[in-house]
């Protein structure tokens, strides 16, 4: 059994039926200016039912969900020397397509199946695309993926390998976003664009619910990598649902970690408004000029006392290497950024704080970045005596 649900506008509070043709609040989206985050982001609201578990609060009935290993990812306590006693890793590189994005793709696929839709389109820096391609393939759906021409090759290869139609875009992610929306409108295809399709936020909340289930009590701090701000918004949505439907009593402090060269949400939290940025960072998954979920993320950070911090690309690469060496977990740069962020403010956090690093993607998706911190053997060995 699932509860009754509807969309509610995060700006004006108007409510709408959950239908494939409704993506943004029709009223608030009229105020959309170019080069600003999306206006009129919708979220799912439920009528609470006694006896339901947290995972039952979904807008699509369980029978429409493809049975795939998405979510329920491992959480473990690290033992990195000099860090907090309770420093946990939530390892979302262990999803089907090796990134957090599968959480949103799965709900979007279930929704498409429920409504008899056969094709899903998405713009992506790489992971949302390879994720949608994987989940669509496994669900009998067609997928069309718009990626910047310069997206990491492994992410493109994943999309192709899963059988998606891959469209590379002459421009950055922001351009891919616009083109993919034009495509979905023109051909009547369901868009999985992040923040734009409200189910992307709703799908991502499952990680918050799992933390509630996996830990005896909610953590104090969660470090979340942040580009468009939808993982952040989705985590808040999960914690707010837990609070609202009576499962918990508080919301953890979320720390949004951005790359110094792509810090629109960090800037907005400091200045109270968004200004355009020209993003430049090797952490491709958090490289965005206009964070599509920016207003929504900012609203949550302000309302619940969240923080935002930035880290340099150098700090990200060092953190990536250190995390691999200390934990065995090879995270992609955007994900390793949270460890860099933790290291940056570690001394400010109470000694007994319980801290979670949300690791969102696998390092194998972008080996060209990691290689910058590594030394390859110079010469192939032929005799053991040649070893220095």
Contacts with ligand PLP, residue ranges (CB under 6 A): 99-101, 127, 194, 225-232, 285-286, 332, 334-335, 360-361
d(CA 192, CA 199): 8
Cβ at position 268, least distance to ligand PLP in Å: 13
Residue whose CB is nearest to ligand PLP in the complex, by number = 361
- What 3-state DSSP class applies to 9? strand
- Residue-level length of the chain: 388
Q: Which is nearer to ligand PLP, 113 or 370 (by Cβ)?
A: 370
Token readout for 97 is 């397509």
Q: Which is nearer to ligand PLP, 174 or 332 (by Cβ)?
A: 332
Token readout for 289 is 């000029």
Contact 158, 95 (CB under 8 A): no
Q: From the centroid of its chain, how far is CA 259?
A: 15
Phi, psi of 284 (to 5 degrees): -60, -30
Cβ at position 19, least distance to ligand PLP in Å: 24
According to DSSP, residue 163 is labeled T
Cβ at position 292, least distance to ligand PLP in Å: 8
Q: Which is nearer to ligand PLP, 40 or 203 (by Cβ)?
A: 203
Cβ at position 334, least distance to ligand PLP in Å: 4
d(CA 132, CA 105): 5
Contact 302, 16 (CB under 8 A): no
Q: Which is nearer to ligand PLP, 101 or 192 (by Cβ)?
A: 101
Q: Which is nearer to ligand PLP, 40 or 225 (by Cβ)?
A: 225
Token readout for 333 is 């740069």
Q: Which is nearer to ligand PLP, 113 or 366 (by Cβ)?
A: 366
Cβ at position 232, least distance to ligand PLP in Å: 6
Phi, psi of 279 (to 5 degrees): -75, 145
Q: From the centroid of its chain, how far is CA 17?
A: 25
Q: Which is nearer to ligand PLP, 24 or 232 (by Cβ)?
A: 232
d(CA 171, CA 150): 8
Cβ at position 117, least distance to ligand PLP in Å: 23
Q: Which is nearer to ligand PLP, 101 or 205 (by Cβ)?
A: 101
Give the angle 71-74-78 at the CA atoms, nearest 5°: 145
Cβ at position 375, least distance to ligand PLP in Å: 26
Place of tokens 């910058």: 372
Cβ at position 218, least distance to ligand PLP in Å: 21
Token readout for 57 is 């609060």
Count other Cβ atoms within 10 Å, centred on residue 375: 6
- CA-based end-to-end distance of the chain: 66
Give the strand order in the sheet containing 5-9. Answer: 15-16, 5-9, 42-46
Give the angle 101-98-287 at the CA atoms, nearest 5°: 55
Q: Which is nearer to ligand PLP, 87 or 254 (by Cβ)?
A: 254
Cβ at position 309, least distance to ligand PLP in Å: 14
């Amino acid at each position: 059994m699932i509860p009754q649900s509807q969309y509610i506008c995060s700006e004006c509070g108007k409510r709408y039926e959950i239908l494939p043709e409704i993506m943004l609040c029709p009223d608030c989206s009229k105020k959309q200016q170019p080069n600003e985050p999306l206006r009129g982001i919708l979220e799912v609201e439920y009528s609470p039912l006694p006896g339901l578990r947290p995972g039952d609060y979904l807008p699509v009935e369980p029978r429409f969900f493809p049975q795939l290993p998405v979510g329920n990812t491992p959480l473990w306590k690290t033992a990195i020397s000099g860090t907090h006693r309770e420093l946990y890793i939530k390892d979302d590189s262990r999803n089907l397509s090796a990134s957090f994005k599968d959480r949103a793709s799965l709900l979007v696929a279930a929704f498409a199946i429920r409504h008899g839709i056969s094709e899903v389109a998405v713009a992506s820096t790489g992971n949302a695309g390879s994720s949608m391609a994987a989940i669509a393939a496994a669900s009998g759906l067609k997928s069309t993926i718009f990626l910047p021409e310069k997206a990491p090759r492994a992410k493109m290869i994943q999309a192709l390998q899963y059988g998606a139609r891959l469209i590379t875009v002459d421009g950055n992610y922001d351009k891919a976003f616009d083109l993919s929306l034009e495509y979905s409108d023109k051909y009547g295809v369901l868009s999985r664009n992040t923040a734009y399709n409200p189910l992307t936020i709703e799908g991502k909340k499952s990680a918050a619910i799992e933390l509630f289930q996996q830990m005896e009590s909610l953590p104090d701090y969660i470090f979340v990598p942040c580009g468009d701000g939808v993982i952040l918004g989705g985590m808040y949505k999960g914690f707010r649902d837990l609070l609202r439907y009576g499962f918990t009593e508080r919301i953890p402090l979320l720390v949004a970690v951005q790359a110094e060269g792509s810090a629109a949400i960090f800037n907005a939290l400091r200045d109270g408004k968004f200004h355009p940025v020209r993003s430049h960072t090797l952490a491709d998954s958090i490289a965005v000029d206009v964070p599509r979920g920016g207003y929504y993320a900012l609203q949550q950070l302000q309302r619940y006392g969240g923080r935002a911090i930035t880290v340099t690309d150098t700090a990200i690469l060092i953190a990536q290497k250190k995390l691999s060496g200390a934990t065995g977990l090879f995270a992609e740069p955007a994900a390793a950024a949270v460890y860099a962020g933790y290291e940056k403010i570690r001394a400010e956090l109470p000694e007994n704080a319980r801290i979670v690093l949300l690791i969102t993607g696998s390092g194998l998706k972008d080996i060209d970045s990691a290689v910058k911190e590594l030394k390859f053997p110079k010469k192939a060995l032929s005799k053991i005596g040649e070893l220095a």
